[in-house]
Amino acid sequence: MNYIYERMLAEGETAIFDREELKKFEDYVSANYETFYANKATYEVKKDGEKFLVTLFENPVITMEEILLDIREET
């Protein structure tokens, strides 16, 4: 297994977004800023060609699955 993949598995949950989905993710984070900040929820974005790898690091308040359900309901 490659190092980056192992790191992503160990440290958080990763989703692959296109530009439009990344915008929805960023809007979600902005709308829930106080919760993210208060609970030190962090994420990382890496560009891979035309896609974006977004890793949500382990935190006590939200999972990537919950975020994906919320942003996909908006469409």
User: What are the residue ranges spanned by the domains of the chain?
Assistant: 3-73
Q: How is residue 58 annotated by DSSP?
A: P
Model pLDDT, residue 1:
46
Mean pLDDT of all residues in 35-63: 93
Radius of gyration of the chain (CA): 12
**pLDDT greater than 60 at residue 9:** no
Percent of the chain with pLDDT strictly greater than 90: 68
Mean pLDDT for the chain overall: 86
Give per-residue pLDDT as tens, 25-46: 999 999 999 999 999 999 999 9
- Tokens standing for 45? 């974005």
CB atoms under 10 Å from CB of 20, counted, come to 9
